[in-house]
Structure 1
Amino acid sequence: MDTLPQTESTTKKVRHWRLVTSHSLVTDEVQRYDYLGAGTEDDPYRVEFITNDPRNPIGFPLWKKWLITVLVAVATLAVAFSSSAYTGSIPGLISEFDVSTELATLGITFFVLGFAIGPLIWAPLSEMYGRQFLFIGTYTLLTAFGAGTAGSKNIQTMIILRFLAGCFGSSPLTNAGGVIADMFLPDQRGLAMSVFSAAPFLGPTLGPIIGGFLGQAEGWRWVEGLMAIFTGVLCIIGALTIPETYVPVLLRKRAEKLSEMTGKVYRSKLDLEKGRKTVGEAYRIALTRPWSLLFLEPIVLLLSIYMAIVFGTLYLMFAAFPIVYQQNRGWSDGIAGLPFLGVMIGMLLGVAYGIPDNRRYVRASKRAGGKAPPEQRLVPAMVGSFFLPVGLFWFAWTNGRSVHWIVSVIGTVPFGFGMVLVFLSIMNYLIDAYTIYAASVLAAASVLRSLFGATFPLFATPMYRNLGIHWASSVPAFLALVCVPFPFLFFKYGPAIRSRCKYAAEAKKMMDEMMNKARNERPGPTISTGSKGAEKETAAVKEPTES
């Protein structure tokens, strides 16, 4: 859609509750606006955001943007927390249901497996009905299935309910990033995304600590109950405070409301320009395009594998730490979760690193005339790629009883630091390199890393039994070492590779055309209202809106 000049300071104030409850928000100014068109079926009025439109997410006051950012970040943290807090339930499940460690660990595996399947279901629905509807619906069912696990009578019921909870819980993992992208322009989004990105990493590290102590003190049912209470409270808060931010849905609802009020024909300008997909078409794209990108684009394949290895290693630690610190050192369930504090400290340092690095990227963008090459996003990954194997090898060869425990815990700090840098850097690179196809790219990457995260814990027990704690812990370190060259190769040869890749080349061509058109039509500071500029540039962290 065309872009309209806007400043936050001049945006008309509207009660926040109206934003939460009304998608259309038809004010007198909106109704009187001189839309293009004649108001007929052949030539409908083309609905776009008006100047200083209070319903445009880009125009929200800064405090409101940050309030929503924090809420969706905590909602995401709660889901990630639920994936790992289950480790505190495992000893109790083994005892009460008389099952093996491997079988009890399936509760982690199937929850994370839900992360792989869920986005393929929820993304098309988000495109049709918006982010708010999806958040409330899926988070409600996440809470319900989470509460069901607390009352499980056997391990089979527990595993099935954990899988369903993971499927529905996967919605905020992808949806929340889109909410942030809806509100912030690309050059303003760096800090918000850095803060938000800490959530899916901090959640898994907090889970074993809290779950371990609670499971030891009150039993596994309280661990499961705590997760349900946590998500239930957030569901209520989110339903009362988080408004719809997805621009295509907002304009579509406004057009429908204006048509109803006036008797004239109004259509969203986005729907007229891009065409409105049916649910079937949206699912066809969501289920086929990610696989085409994954297997036909070497950039997507190699970097997705890299992220999957790192993600799988994190979930491998949920099974490895009890072996290293409980079985090998004799620690209790609660104390054995404390080494995850080392990983968490590293992650927080990684998030902090993102603040000055965002300034570096802004400077690079200015030098490039306003849009830095996608390869500039890879600089943090180049740094983090070294810290990953260093931290993993450090942990692997200092985790024996002959070495003080603090040494191995310190080794997890560079791992957490490198993991955040690699993840954020690669995701931003894929966003910038694939723009209009980036939602499908990140869907493919999400499925692959979720599969790795689901399967890595399964082979932890036999691997540690057969190889011992040193060599078993070295396996992911060697995998991370093999991946070190990836960001360097794409930093140097990325432009040449992208020019030879079908989807990357198409994305670059289309973005160049849109940016040139925007420059010619609207000089000066602008905001995006949909399909051009920031909207297209940030399609990756939104649900698929590709044509």
Structure 2
Amino acid sequence: MKPIRQPNSVCHVVIATPEGLFFILKTFPLCATTRSSRISRTSSRLVHWPLDHCPAKRTPGLPRINKPILIFPTMEKSKDVEAGKGPSSIPHWRLVFDQGLVTDEVMNWKYAGSGTDEDPYVVNWIDNDPRNPMLFSKVKKWFLTALVAIATLAVAFVSSAYSGGIREILAEFGASQEVGILGVSLFVLGFAIGPLLWAPLSEIFGRQVLFVTTYGGLTAFNAGAAGSNSMATLIVLRFFAGAIGSSPLTNAGGVIADMFSAQERGLAMTLFAAAPFMGPVLGPIVGGFVGQTVGWRWVEGVMAIFTGVLWIIGSLLIPETYPPVLLRKRAAKMSKMTGKVYRSKGDVDQGPTTFGKVFSTSLLRPWVLLFREPIVFLLSIYMAIIYGTLYMLFAAFPIVYQQGRGWSQGIGGLAFLGVAVGMLMAVAYSVWDNKRYVKVSTENQGFAPPEARLPPCILGGICLPIGLFWFAWTNSPSIHFMASIAAGVPFGFGMVLVFLGIMNYLIDAYTIFAASVLAANSVLRSLFGAAFPLFTSQMYDNLGIHWASTIPAFLALLCVPMPFLFYKFGPKIRENCKYAKQSMEFMRNMQKQMAGGESKEDEEKEEQEAFDYSYESESHGDAETPKFEEIKTGNDSQGLGGARLSRTSTYEHSPYDIDRVNTRESFTKPRSRASSLRRGA
């Protein structure tokens, strides 16, 4: 590429404060010869002036910084750039109801292409784009995070609150205990089926549409269950409520990933992760008191009211956040407004999204990974056993506390408070432990090994059998009830740590296949969660409350070595697993490109290579060579917008979305994330 001379450019001499604000101290014409695609590197080689020798007066009140002042070249010819200027403000209602938002700045932006079918305008985020979820204010990001977390908690709450009215349900319909517990099992079975549908559909329609439709369906089925006139009707409606209402279990995490970069979303994801665990624990407490006072129909009614209120609030306040859908809608709107041809960046790079493409990936690849990758299979079995044990408690606690001790339904539900306390302690511990992980990541130049995620999992794995054995041999009516309820603390603590540790390990070990791995994991654990409650009553009748409670404790004990095994031998195991090895090679290649070891000749190359793993890999033999694909710089005249690998790059693709064929979009610069998203790679 020939150098581009920019005689009309200007340079800004700026100073950065610790608060992240930039103040312009001097603006002067610049006649520099730079390569636009390397402008971010070239800028570091331009003139540096120490603060004491700055030709302009220092702004009063600014802290004294003993570092060279940064100089940023721009394409503006005369006027200064406003320091700290953020996205233009638009009303929140437009974010919610206008997915294809087009402002004057968007319309007048210079896009790559010529506007024809052969060479369409390529639509990507512009500078300070008000519709870019990554540029939402922190207040808005955390408000939406809290909203989707509560929506997820409500779904998990509905799964178990039903158990608070089982006694009245059995009395009214004359059903057996096993048939009554089907209302819980079939709801959880819906968790196994629903996500396989909602994840690919979000690729096509976005997250907002799915939330409005599925949450409305969840509310309708809950209301229908309240009016059921037979046991069969009730359990069928419960199944559909679980299948349709399960969309937040996948899409809510995607909303958070849309708004926070990979380096920023750790805390948000940790706090959000408490929702699927706290919901099932709160369900029996609320359901028990409602069931004993106003009957089981009002248990279903309270569920319908709860989800209905959240449905209305979410429909009015949660905007679409999925960038491919937003850019696709914007491109279609601009094409209609101008008569020119606009295409979104994703559609240009990967082709239009079709039902066949996304469903073939979401329905096939999870099973391939589950049964061909020992890492995925073993750790998914571990999580499934713990998840099944949690739902087994919804049938076991009524036997231990209501039948054994004569407690009422409401008081019996309070036995879950011990588990809830342990879960909250685990969330607090995870926030604290994140400092350790950040330190490890820094020591490895931002590439902490996946095994760095496992120390909390090891601790949690030890706590799980302790809590279960504790409960098994202290749940007799002759022993004070606080002894067995307190056993829920180590169980809840260990369960959350094991879940978070394993999920983060799988995401890091299978970066480019993370979505399929999580889908496989979700399906298997939901199947266990549906099955365990079905045999709980017979197991307790035949074995007694002590030995029946000991069985899941032994299962948890058998799984204790797993985190130790992967922590010690994880790299060797991943080297011998087909898909884990491909992910390792992808990350190694990415790390090499960021290591700063490029020669001068390499820096002058116009294109770089990144791994591109095709969907075709599932249908070939064992020996496969990853495909390579060029990373394009886009419109070179856009200068800073050209996305290049830097030493601070990270893999940004959301683990909650369909795995990408083309992974090059995940190379971004965290410190200038907004800039890399604005104009495209």
TM range (shorter): over 0.9
Deviations 1:346-382 (CA, angstroms, capped at 9, x unpaired): 0000111111111211111111102211111112111
Q: How far apart are residue 499 of structure 1 and its match?
A: 2.2
Partner residue, 1:196: 272
SS of alignment partner, residue 54 of structure 1: coil
Q: Does 1:539 align with 2:654?
A: yes
- The within-5 A match list for 1:345-364 is 345-364=421-440
- Does the Cα contact within 8 Å between 2:335 and 2:341 map onto a contact in 1? yes
- In structure 1, the gaps of 5 or more residues are none
Pick the structure with more strand per residue: 2
Quick check: 142-151 or 177-186, which moved more? Answer: 177-186
Asked if the contact 1:111–1:163 (Cα under 8 Å) also holds between the matched residues in 2, the reply is yes
CA distance, structure 2, for counterparts of residue 303 and residue 537 of structure 1: 24
1:123 paired to 2:199? yes
| Range that drifts further, 291-300 or 427-436 | 427-436
- Structure 2 partner of 1:178: 254
Corresponding position of 2:159: 83
**Is the partner of 1:46 in helix, strand or coil?**
strand
| CA–CA distance in structure 1, aligned partners of residues 571 and 129 of structure 2 | 38
CA distance in structure 1 between the aligned counterparts of 2:130 and 2:176, rounded to whole angstroms:
57
**How far apart in 2 are the matches of 1:312 and 1:341?**
19
TM-score (norm 2): 0.76
Q: Is the 8 A contact 1:436 1:539 kept in 2?
A: no
2:343 pairs with 1:258? no
Distance 1:471 1:498 in 2: 38
Cα pair 1:126 1:543 within 8 Å, conserved:
no
- 1:108 matched to which residue of 2? 184
2:100 to 14, 17, 24: 24
* Cross-structure match for 1:34: 110
1:283-314 Cα offsets, whole Å, 9 max, x none, are 11111100000001111101111110110000
Contact kept in structure 2, 1:432 and 1:537, CA below 8 Å? no
Alpha-carbon separation, structure 2, partners of 1:25 and 1:181: 21
Higher radius of gyration, 1 or 2: 2
Measured at CA, do residues 170 and 453 of structure 1 come closer, stay the same or move farther in structure 2, by a change above 3 Å? same
Which position in structure 2 is the counterpart of 1:245?
Answer: 321
| SS of 2:510 mapped into structure 1 | helix
Residue 436 in 1 paired to residue 512 in 2? yes
1:366-416 CA distances to partner (integer Å, 9 max, x unpaired)? 111022111111121111111111111111111011210001100110000
User: Do the aligned partners of residues 315 and 373 (structure 1) sit closer, same or farther apart at CA in structure 2, a change above 3 Å counting?
Assistant: same
Contact preservation (8 Å) 1:312, 1:453:
yes
CA shift for structure 1 position 12:
2.4
Match of 1:269 among 345, 351, 371: 345
Distance across 2 between alignment mates of 1:137 and 1:534: 37
Contact 2:509 2:583 in 1 (8 A): yes
Query: Counterpart of 2:277 in structure 1: which amino acid?
Result: F
Aligned counterpart, 1:422: 498
Higher helix share: 1
Overall identity of the aligned pairs, in % = 62
Deviation at 1:527, TM superposition (A): 12
Q: CA deviation at 1:230?
A: 0.4
Query: Using the alignment, how far apart are the partners of 2:642 and 2:465 within structure 1?
Result: 42
Which residue among 395, 417, 436 is the counterpart of 1:341?
417
Pairing 1:473–2:549 present: yes
Map 1:379-458 → 2, pairs under 5 A: 379-458=455-534
Q: 1:351 to 1:207 in 2, by over 3 A?
A: same
* Residue 516 (structure 1) shift: 5.9
Q: What is residue 286 of structure 1 aligned with on the other side? A: 362
Tell me by how many angstroms 1:22 deviates: 1.5
Match of 1:325 among 401, 405, 418: 401
Superposed, 1:85-164 pairs within 5 Å as 85-164=161-240
Given that 1:174 and 1:543 are in contact with CA atoms closer than 8 Å, whether structure 2 keeps it comes out as no
Alignment of 1:39-50 (within 5 A): 39-50=115-126
| Contact kept in structure 2, 1:110 and 1:454, CA below 8 Å | yes
- Change in Cα spacing, 1:24 to 1:109, as seen in structure 2 (3 Å) is same
Matches of 1:53 and 1:493, distance apart in 2: 46
Aligned pair partner of 1:493 in 547, 569, 573: 569
Greater relative contact order (Cα 8 A, min sep 6): structure 1 or 2? 1
8 Å CA contact 1:186–1:534 kept in 2: the answer is no
What secondary structure, in the 3-state scheme, does the structure 2 residue paired with 1:339 have?
A: helix
The aligned residue for residue 295 of structure 1 is: 371
- Aligned partners of 1:284, 1:540: CA distance in 2, in Å? 18
- In 1: Cα distance, 2:138 partner to 2:479 partner: 50
Contact 1:58 1:528 in 2 (8 A): no
C-alpha distance in 2, partners of 1:505/1:256? 40
Pair 1:229-2:305 in alignment: yes
Matched, 1:311 2:392: no
CA distance in 2, matches of 1:535, 1:333: 50
Instruction: Answer whether contact 1:177 1:542 (CA < 8 A) is retained.
Output: no
Q: Whole-Å Cα distance in 2 between the matches of residues 121 and 153 of structure 1?
A: 30
Let me know the Cα RMSD of the aligned residues. Answer: 2.3
State which drifts further: 452-461 or 372-381.
372-381
| Superposed displacement of residue 267, structure 1 | 1.2
2:362 touches 2:658 (CA, 8 Å); kept in 1?
Answer: no
Q: Secondary structure at the match of 1:191?
A: helix
Q: 1:511 to 1:40 in 2, by over 3 A?
A: farther
Which deviates more, 335-344 or 21-30? 21-30
Shift of 1:73: 0.4
5+ long unaligned stretches in structure 2: 1-36, 41-82, 596-602, 609-632, 634-639, 663-681
Contact 2:192–2:523 (Cα < 8 Å) also in 1 = yes
- The AA in structure 1 aligned to 2:425 is L
The AA in structure 2 aligned to 1:206 is: L
The answer to whether the 8 Å contact 1:528/1:534 transfers is: no
- What is the distance in 1 between the residues matched to 2:554 and 2:651? 38
Q: Which moved more, 1:16-25 or 1:196-205?
A: 16-25
Letter in 1 for 2:442: K
Counterparts of 2:652 and 2:269 in 1: how far apart (Å)?
Answer: 15
Does the CA-based 8 Å contact 1:12-1:52 persist in structure 2?
A: yes
Residue-by-residue CA offset, 1:441-475 (whole Å, 9 max, x unaligned): 11100000000000000010011111111111011
Query: Residue type of the partner of 2:188?
Result: V
Change in Cα spacing, 1:511 to 1:134, as seen in structure 2 (3 Å) is: farther
1:140-172 deviations in Å (ceiling 9; x for gaps): 001001100000000000000000000011101
Q: After superposing the two structures, state which structure 1 stretch, 513-522 or 44-53, moved more.
A: 513-522
How far, CA to CA, are the matches of 2:229 and 2:215 in structure 1? 24
SS at match of 2:122: strand
2:283 to 207, 211, 218: 207
1:369 corresponds to 2:448 = no
Deviations 1:471-508 (A, max 9, x none): 11011111111111111111222222222222222233
Q: Which amino acid aligns with 1:539?
A: S
Deviation per residue, 1:103-134 (Å, 9 max, x gap): 11000010000000111111111111101011
Is the contact between residue 86 and residue 128 of structure 2 (CA under 8 Å) also seen in structure 1?
yes
